[in-house]
Chain A
């Protein structure tokens, strides 16, 4: 085996004829915070439950700490888990909930009490030990669930959409807390989410999934800046997609114009297109990568008409028509740009689509 703490090899899961997971292979290093990100129904929960042993995979193997755990029942594995519903035991107090797994380990009574107090402090609820879960707010309950999961010091922490039942403000706050706690404890953590912002802000590594397959694995920066597939590009952040034709390795044709582009093309795409020039492809660029101010280093300058402007606080989002392109393009400009260049509906701009910011995708 390799040095990964958790290693998943060619995992498949079928529900009858339906393939929920297909050929999932993944390595997670010790202490890493990994997010499974994807739209609803893509198989995130299924994968998480397979790792936990709650619903076994149909095929494939899982190694944790070098040990093959593929077919072990959940109680023989080493993990703590937190669910979206909290799943706190309603008839037990907060302290009893946190102590639930400790009691079973034949820990001494006093030690249990110390550990519970310590954890109550960690989650910032030092005085709530004697309350019942229903007496706490949603965010507090989720913290208790987290404390219960880490009480037994598991090697792996699994979080299934732990924040999605909470309101926006609590969510933002708890996001940081979880991340901080994870860093402090150094526990390898997998969090399932369909919220890209959550994944981008918390994860060391993001696994983007769609229809039961992994689309891309990478750091938040990689996922955002170098999306491997069209799905990743459209799912994470905002992206303009424009139909274009491929001319050669570093040139594409958009409308009547030729754009230069860097060819860190994804290998697969490169192979086919190189052999087959002028293939129809998609050129993609993020709204914030379109430049309206540049000093001589412009690579692809195109005139554009401003169609619409939406004020979004610190920046404006504009809808533009590029010269010779039918699809509207969205671009974000800072308030400074808007003021200095007098950007308004009907204005004519000369925009730069920097070659190193262009993404090319197979059609």
Chain B
């Protein structure tokens, strides 16, 4: 009764929160972040969608282009081809990666650390490089042509091998993470119940890495179906969706059909994206359980068996990468096998010369620098700002979109969006800036997730404490959050750098004569028949990435010692 007499709280006029400077800046930051993603992904995607329902004159024609697509048997054939390639590659990669990851994380096999480093090799090269190497190994003048039993390497076989090679490290890393998250106690109980090793593998190991396998499978599937480098180099007459887009746009200048194929290529990528999100959610719940880490114990038979099983994989990696390096050094294949640096004289050939390489370095450098800054700031706003759920959710969802967009589609979308004379950003077209922006957008999601994970690990009350001390949030961001997240920042920067250096798909539509890139040069030189210089440029990119990686490793050690002293100083 007493409550009814007091002035009812719900009727008291609610007053708005007063906007402090901090708050205003945060809102501004969120809006800028959202605007960035809208301009760099959402609007270009809209442009490509609308292009696919227009005729050459730009009038709306409904699904006419799609009907035309369906009526064209050679185009529709590519769908089957792409799916076949992706399925085959996924099966090959996942089985080999499971074997390798298991050997690396669950045994004490000899040379484990060397093998672990070697496995990462393919990640440092563009997908064109293994394809070129295969040409030297099994092509018309290949050293091991007889191994093909008369089959041609130009076609599905070559594509599957190249892509398997190139996707392999991604799958190994995901599966190894899954394997390392397993609870040792399960194995102890299995042992106590005298379960046979095989049965343990099927009843304990496999179920516990189920989600890791699914996730790896879809990552490989997406990488494969959207890759353009390998099928371009070694696909021969075998058309896939990615090469179709390129041919429609570059070969036939048929932008509408390019847009249609792009939209079709979006579907498998979106499916993979949805599955990946679902898996991530499942996996989180697995991880929260308190688990004992598993330490592999030496076991002679098992260790050596796994080592022998891993040997073919190791041999392949050394063989393919070694062949590429060797081919780049051979003076004139196969007639003059003397070694020289002739193929590295890029300025003597078409394809952009050394200029392209320097452009690539600049492009990758800017991408790493600005990309890390933009992505981390946005992730900070998503993760650490209080309230403003709507803006933060929008920014977070926006950050997820790029994962579902294949590079080639994004590149084409940029043509449609930025090359439009009505677009005020039109003058970006043909500059290095648009290459940087496109690459940041292309690789945004993985970096965003890395940043969010790192931010989640730091105390949620830092912002509250600094507000109580009347220190603006951006000071705390600079003095505390950034230094604490330095390892994650370096990871993001190196990821962006390596990918920016090697990417072909997103930038192949966007470079101009002034902004030729090395990865595109590899493609163009290969196209023009200059395979050896193409291999040389590819090898150069790979060595650069490895060099940067080593530099990154040294730098993070230095930084860790200097700014992260507190990490190692537990009393």
Task: Tell me the minimal C-beta distance from B333 to chain A in angstroms.
Answer: 55
A104 sits at the interface (CB 8 A): yes
A258 sits at the interface (CB 8 A): no
Given A59-B12, A104-B475, A132-B569, also A71-B22 (CB < 8 A): no
Residue of B nearest to A69 (CB): B18
Residues on the A chain within 8 Å of B564, using CB: 91
Kindly supply a per-residue 1/0 record for chain A positions 51-85, scoring 1 wherever the CB is within 8 Å of any chain B CB and 0 otherwise.
Answer: 01111101110000000001111111101110101
Given A60-B9, A91-B480, A91-B563, also A136-B20 (CB < 8 A): no
| Cross-chain contact B570 with A135 (CB below 8 angstroms) | yes
Give A135 to B569 CA distance when docked, in angstroms.
6
A79's partner among B468, B483, B484 (CB-CB below 8 A) is B468
Given A89-B462, A101-B470, also A55-B386 (CB < 8 A): yes
Kindly supply a per-residue 1/0 record for chain B positions 16-30, scoring 1 wherever the CB is within 8 Å of any chain A CB and 0 otherwise.
Answer: 111111110000000
Residues on the B chain within 8 Å of A91, using CB: 480, 483-484, 563-564, 566
A2 sits at the interface (CB 8 A): no
Interface residues of B in 186-212 (CB under 8 A from A): none
| Cross-chain contact B469 with A100 (CB below 8 angstroms) | yes
Interface residues of B in 338-373 (CB under 8 A from A): none
| Cross-chain contact A75 with B20 (CB below 8 angstroms) | yes
Give A56 to B15 CA distance when docked, in angstroms.
11
Residues on the A chain within 8 Å of B18, using CB: 71-73, 76
B565 sits at the interface (CB 8 A): yes
A333 sits at the interface (CB 8 A): no
Give A178 to B198 CA distance when docked, in angstroms.
60
Residues on the A chain within 8 Å of B297, using CB: none
Residues on the B chain within 8 Å of A158, using CB: 468
| Cross-chain contact B17 with A74 (CB below 8 angstroms) | no
Residues on the B chain within 8 Å of A90, using CB: 484, 566-567
A170 sits at the interface (CB 8 A): no
A10's partner among B9, B563, B567 (CB-CB below 8 A) is B9
Task: Tell me the minimal C-beta distance from B383 to chain A in angstroms.
Answer: 16
Task: Tell me the minimal C-beta distance from B477 to chain A in angstroms.
Answer: 12
Interface size counted on chain B using CB atoms at 8 A: 44
| Cross-chain contact B461 with A85 (CB below 8 angstroms) | yes
Task: Tell me the minimal C-beta distance from B272 to chain A in angstroms.
Answer: 34
Give A60 to B567 CA distance when docked, in angstroms.
44
| Cross-chain contact A23 with B470 (CB below 8 angstroms) | no
A216 sits at the interface (CB 8 A): no
Task: Tell me the minimal C-beta distance from B423 to chain A in angstroms.
Answer: 38
Kindly supply a per-residue 1/0 record for chain B positions 463-492, scoring 1 wherever the CB is within 8 Å of any chain A CB and 0 otherwise.
Answer: 011111111100110011001100000000
Interface residues of A in 267-307 (CB under 8 A from B): none
| Cross-chain contact B23 with A70 (CB below 8 angstroms) | no
| Cross-chain contact A101 with B469 (CB below 8 angstroms) | yes
Interface residues of A in 17-69 (CB under 8 A from B): 23, 52-56, 58-60
| Cross-chain contact A83 with B12 (CB below 8 angstroms) | no
Residues on the A chain within 8 Å of B7, using CB: 10
Residues on the B chain within 8 Å of A151, using CB: 469
B9's partner among A23, A52, A70 (CB-CB below 8 A) is A23
A162 sits at the interface (CB 8 A): no
B335 sits at the interface (CB 8 A): no
A148 sits at the interface (CB 8 A): yes
Residues on the A chain within 8 Å of B571, using CB: 134-137
Give the residue among A72, A74, A79, A86 with the most B Cβ atoms within 10 A. A74
Residues on the A chain within 8 Å of B483, using CB: 91
Residues on the A chain within 8 Å of B16, using CB: 71
Task: Tell me the minimal C-beta distance from A149 to chain B in angstroms.
Answer: 7
Interface size counted on chain A using CB atoms at 8 A: 48
Task: Tell me the minimal C-beta distance from A10 to chain B in angstroms.
Answer: 5
A105 sits at the interface (CB 8 A): yes
Give A148 to B469 CA distance when docked, in angstroms.
8
Give A333 to B15 CA distance when docked, in angstroms.
57
B71 sits at the interface (CB 8 A): no
Given A23-B9, A54-B386, A81-B465, also A152-B14 (CB < 8 A): no
A345 sits at the interface (CB 8 A): no
Residue of A nearest to B480 (CB): A89
Residue of B nearest to A74 (CB): B467
Give A100 to B469 CA distance when docked, in angstroms.
8
Residues on the B chain within 8 Å of A58, using CB: 14
Give the residue among B17, B468, B479 with the most A Cβ atoms within 10 A. B468
| Cross-chain contact B479 with A73 (CB below 8 angstroms) | no
| Cross-chain contact B470 with A56 (CB below 8 angstroms) | no
Residues on the A chain within 8 Å of B459, using CB: 83, 85-87
| Cross-chain contact B22 with A83 (CB below 8 angstroms) | no
Residue of B nearest to A103 (CB): B471
Give A152 to B6 CA distance when docked, in angstroms.
39
Residue of B nearest to A135 (CB): B571
A172 sits at the interface (CB 8 A): no
B111 sits at the interface (CB 8 A): no
Give A52 to B564 CA distance when docked, in angstroms.
32
Give A317 to B191 CA distance when docked, in angstroms.
49
| Cross-chain contact A152 with B9 (CB below 8 angstroms) | no
Give the residue among B9, B465, B483 with the most A Cβ atoms within 10 A. B465
Give A85 to B17 CA distance when docked, in angstroms.
28
Kindly supply a per-residue 1/0 record for chain A positions 172-185, scoring 1 wherever the CB is within 8 Å of any chain B CB and 0 otherwise.
Answer: 00000000000000
B10 sits at the interface (CB 8 A): yes
Interface residues of A in 84-135 (CB under 8 A from B): 85-87, 89-92, 100-101, 103-105, 132-135
Residues on the B chain within 8 Å of A100, using CB: 466, 469, 471
Residues on the B chain within 8 Å of A255, using CB: none
| Cross-chain contact A83 with B570 (CB below 8 angstroms) | no
A75's partner among B22, B461, B570 (CB-CB below 8 A) is B22
The contact sample of 10 A-B pairs, CB cut-off 8 A, is A10-B6, A59-B10, A75-B20, A83-B465, A100-B469, A100-B471, A103-B471, A104-B471, A104-B475, A148-B469
- Listed from nearest, the 5 A-B pairs whose CB atoms lie closest are A101-B469, A73-B20, A74-B467, A132-B566, A87-B461
Please report B residues at the A interface, Cβ cutoff 8 Å: 3, 6-7, 9-10, 12, 14-23, 386-387, 459, 461-462, 464-472, 475-476, 479-480, 483-484, 563-567, 569-571
